[in-house]
């Protein structure tokens, strides 16, 4: 059974995601779809709008056959490790033939040429990266600048540049800024990860439709960005026209139960408790706390007029640190992720388990195949026997992330906080 893998967050699942699922089947000729999905905390350093089981249910309604959780050790990471964890999971299933991702450029030849040159991170690339960082660039901008020096023009490697432009790339031959686009950057890192683990998975890309990744406003179109949809929901407006009916219904059910929408606002009390009880040295030991940020945080706390993440980020933000980096840092502080446990050495080992969040009948067939093909244990529910898989940055961290996330619910119970021990995968 030809199977395509996709890497998703579904925060929440909207019409653009449905297009991606449908096109992934179409362009790869796949009969089945396996999605690796982030759990309760996401790549940009934010809590998910609603819980991972609800989001898995949304996906099953729209044609995904099997949902696998991306461990929190990888889900709240820069593009390099986010991609490495997700691609490694798809490879670990032993059943995924292809990977299909969205990108602004929409042209695999351009991405592949850049990825091939960057896979080994040459001395030239590293020197350029250090140079740009030293001169005040934040990491994403420095990476894009260094990559552009290493790759030159991506279209110089495309057989038919006119075809690339017709696919909607809007790319000038001399302009390397395409690398900095969020989905181009993620796609580039997916390809680098495939090369790094010597995977036989065949990549495909499709051009993103309509709304940009960071667009905060909606219009009369059928597709709006997840950012704009979250804004509507948090401001108590209906995003129903931008979401499938089943996704909207699942979201409303979560709202009725006091479990959505979740944002930093509901977790601020717990975040500031951690900030106020931690010494400079303790903060410096946590992920993404780099280059003296522990001092900036210590100095900012007494100056706050209100204990909100918005106010705090405004005090510590600079040209060097993107909002996304600071949000990820705050997430690691909230979750207690220390560098010694969640650093590159641990992440380079790859995920140690395949956590199943949901499946349908076809997905059940895939799981039966995976019993023979998977290179690591398949987990349906956390138990005393499997809870130690992956060590401190493995299943234990996922369970803790769920428990902390549940503090955002208006109807908190211990069973909700430790739902990983009780909740079986969603079945459709």
- Extract the annotated binding site: 7-20, 102, 183, 208
Distance CA 322, CA 138 (A): 6
Count of H-run helices and E-run strands, the chain:
21, 8
The helix (run of H) or strand (run of E) holding residue 244 is none
Question: 354 near 366, Cβ under 8 Å?
Answer: no
Cα→Cα distances 183→103, 105, 143, 207, Å: 5, 9, 14, 10
Q: Identify the sign of the CA torsion 170, 174, 178, 180.
A: negative
Q: Identify the sign of the CA torsion 318, 321, 323, 326.
A: negative
Q: Which two tokens stand for residue 333?
A: 């502080």
Q: Which residues are annotated as a binding site for ATP?
A: 7-20, 102, 183, 208
DSSP summary character for residue 307: -
Residues in the chain: 428
Q: Which two tokens stand for residue 198?
A: 């010597």
Distance CA 76, CA 288 (A): 10
DSSP summary character for residue 237: -
The helix (run of H) or strand (run of E) holding residue 36 is strand 32-38
From the list 114, 88, 116, 90, the residue with the least C-alpha distance to 28 is 90
From the list 7, 21, 69, the residue with the least C-alpha distance to 425 is 69
Cα→Cα distances 58→51, 256, 359, Å: 11, 17, 11
The helix (run of H) or strand (run of E) holding residue 87 is helix 79-93
Q: Identify the sign of the CA torsion 232, 234, 237, 239.
A: positive
Q: Which residues pair with 379 in a beta bridge?
A: 355
3-state secondary structure 121-183: CCHHHHHHHHHHHHCCCCHHHHHHHHHHHHHCCHHHHCCCHHHHHHCCCCCCCCCCHHHHCHH
């Amino acid at each position: 059974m030809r199977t395509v893998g996709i890497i998703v967050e579904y925060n929440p699942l909207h019409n653009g995601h449905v297009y991606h699922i449908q096109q992934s089947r179409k362009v790869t000729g796949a009969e089945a779809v396996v999605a690796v999905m982030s759990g309760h905390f996401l790549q940009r350093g934010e809590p998910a709008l609603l819980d991972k089981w609800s989001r898995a249910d949304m996906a099953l309604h729209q044609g995904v056959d099997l949902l696998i959780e991306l461990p929190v050790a990888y889900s709240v990471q820069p593009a390099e490790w986010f991609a490495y964890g997700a691609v490694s999971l798809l490879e670990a299933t032993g059943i995924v033939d292809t990977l299909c991702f969205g990108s602004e450029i929409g042209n695999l030849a351009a991405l592949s040429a850049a990825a091939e040159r960057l896979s080994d991170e040459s001395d030239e690339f590293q020197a350029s990266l250090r140079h740009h960082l030293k001169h005040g660039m934040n990491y994403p901008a420095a990476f894009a600048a260094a990559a552009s020096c290493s790759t030159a023009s991506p279209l110089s490697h495309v057989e038919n540049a006119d075809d690339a432009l017709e696919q909607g790339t809007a790319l000038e031959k001399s302009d390397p800024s395409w690398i900095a686009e969020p989905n181009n950057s993620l796609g580039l890192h997916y390809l680098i990860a495939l090369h790094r683990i010597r995977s036989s998975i065949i990549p495909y890309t499709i051009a993103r439709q309509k709304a940009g990744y960071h667009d905060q406003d909606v219009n009369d179109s059928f597709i709006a960005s997840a950012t704009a949809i979250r804004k509507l929901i948090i401001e108590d407006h209906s995003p129903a026209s931008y979401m499938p009916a089943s996704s909207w219904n699942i979201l409303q059910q979560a709202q009725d139960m006091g479990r959505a929408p979740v944002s930093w606002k509901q977790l601020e009390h717990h975040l500031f408790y951690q900030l106020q009880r931690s010494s400079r040295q303790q903060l410096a030991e946590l992920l993404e706390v780099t280059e003296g940020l522990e001092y900036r945080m210590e100095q900012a706390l007494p100056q706050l007029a209100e204990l909100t993440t918005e106010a705090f980020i405004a005090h510590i933000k600079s040209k060097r640190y993107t909002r996304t980096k600071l949000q990820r840092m705050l997430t690691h502080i909230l979750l207690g992720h220390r560098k010694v446990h969640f650093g590159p050495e641990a992440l380079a080992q790859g995920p140690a388990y395949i956590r199943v969040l949901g499946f349908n009948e076809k997905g059940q067939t895939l799981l039966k195949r995976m019993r023979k093909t998977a290179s690591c244990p398949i987990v349906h529910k956390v138990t005393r026997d499997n809870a130690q898989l992956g060590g401190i940055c493995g299943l234990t961290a996922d369970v803790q992330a769920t428990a902390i996330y549940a503090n955002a619910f208006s109807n908190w119970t211990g069973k909700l906080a430790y739902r990983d021990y009780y909740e079986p995968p969603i079945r459709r």
